[in-house]
Amino acid sequence: MQDAVLIAGGYGVVGRQVAALIRQRHPQLSLVIAGRSLEKADALARELGHAQGFRLDVDRPDPLQGVRFRAVVAAVNDPEDYLLWDAVQHSIPYMDITRWPERLRASAAGLVGKPLKAPVLFASGWMGGVASIATVAIARTLLNVERIDISVLFSMQDKSGPNSVEYMDRLATPFATMIDGQLIQVKPFTDPRTVTFPRGYTTPVYRFDTPDQLTLPQTTGARTVATRIAFDDGLATGLLRFLIRSGLWTLISGDRFTGLRRSLLHNPGSGASHEIQIAVAGRDLHGTEVVKTVMIVDPQGQTHLTALGALIQLERLLGLDGATSSKAGVTYPDTNPQVEHALHLLDSFGVTVSRVGKRVEDAATCLQSFSTDINCA
């Protein structure tokens, strides 16, 4: 299986879409669909073709059981880092799209000083790193970056899997983010700003924790980075904010109330549009203070956009994007991304990158307009 890419959690809500997109994009790439249920893994493998199932339990040591793969994609939580360490010890390129910031910090810290012989790509930034890539595209056209604001509109009717819910389940946990060049501890669902999203919905958005706030200050030099979220149901946003700010969310944070919390957060529908606004403030190449704003819309929703992010990162990891494959060591979506390639890929799968309703026709136009302030910046 040394020429095959293993997808852990490959028959889950996101993993299934990752596998389907890889198969569509790379028909000859061997895939291994892995999870606790070999029956489900085998069924999807037969559906995809040029694939096979593999029984894998990330909650047990040595989940790869000594089998070598071309790369490992973690589309399921790896709570004890068993899958990560197994890949590292066998020099297998590893990519993770599920790790929330606290766990990312701990896992990255555990790799410091280790003699890594393969790349470890932590790609759990918002939507598989898509937001970070778009942010880097803007930042590259500026002399310096002062502030980055990433705002997310999450549809209550969108698809979601249990990993997404586990992430959202931690909304009440304070976190550190970069403010004026200093790491500051902030409370979630505070510091609102009003945003109008691409399809015209205007709402307050509130702080929440994402890995982008850890990595973008390092890769862009931004002195302030903030991610904020709102739901497309004003009542749901208001209720969740009240529960968090009042402390009631913390009171129902134990296992006893898991069902109650998830009944509030996890009522997935058949799918809905996912929308992101990214505003980057700084000085342009002429020294003028500017704010460049990009809108991202995926009509097929957040799980589809996450899967596209995973596809972009896998191509970067293996050098399938026309560049040299990633070097050994820890890396992130915003670490030297192939921006033009990523924008072309997003466009080919129906994702719109735009400014004030103006669609970007192609990646080259988009990159040019970032600097000339015509279409998407």
DSSP string, 15-79: HHHHHHHHHHH-TTSEEEEEES-HHHHHHHHHHHSSEEEEE--TTSSSTTTT---SEEEE-S--T
The span from the CA of 280 to the CA of 295, in Å, is 12
Which H/E stretch holds residue 111? Answer: helix 101-111
Strand, coil or helix: what is 241? Answer: helix
Cα-Cα-Cα-Cα dihedral sign, residues 26, 69, 8, 85: negative
196 forms bridges with which residues in the sheet? Answer: 202
308 within 8 A of 21, measured Cβ to Cβ: yes
DSSP structure class, residue 257: G
User: For residue 356, what pLDDT is reported?
Assistant: 46
Q: Which amino acid, 319? A: G
Q: What is the pLDDT along the chain (377 residues), one digit of tens a residue?
A: 789 999 999 999 999 999 999 999 999 999 999 999 999 999 999 999 999 999 999 999 999 999 999 999 999 999 999 999 999 999 999 999 998 888 999 999 999 988 999 999 999 999 999 999 999 999 999 999 999 999 999 886 666 655 555 655 666 788 999 999 999 999 888 999 999 998 889 999 999 999 999 999 999 999 999 999 998 877 777 777 777 777 776 666 656 656 665 566 555 555 678 999 999 999 999 999 999 999 999 999 999 999 999 999 999 999 999 888 899 999 999 998 999 999 999 999 999 998 643 443 344 455 455 444 433 43
Q: Which CATH number fits the domain 4-127+306-331, given the four candidates 3.40.50.620, 3.10.129.10, 3.40.50.720, 3.40.50.300? A: 3.40.50.720
Distance separating alpha carbons of residues 92 and 117, to the nearest angstrom: 8
Which among 88, 98, 102, 217 is positioned nearest to 150, based on CA atoms?
Answer: 217
DSSP 117: -
CATH of 130-301+339-372, one of 3.30.230.70, 3.40.30.160, 3.30.360.10, 2.40.160.40: 3.30.360.10
Q: Which two tokens stand for residue 332?
A: 């992130």
Domain with CATH 3.30.360.10 in the chain: 130-301+339-372
Confidence at residue 5, expressed as pLDDT on a 0 to 100 scale = 98
CB of 321 closer than 8 Å to CB of 341: yes
Quickly tell me which residue has 């509030």 as its tokens.
264
Q: Say if CB 100 and CB 212 are below 8 A apart.
A: no
Beta bridge partners of 225: 148
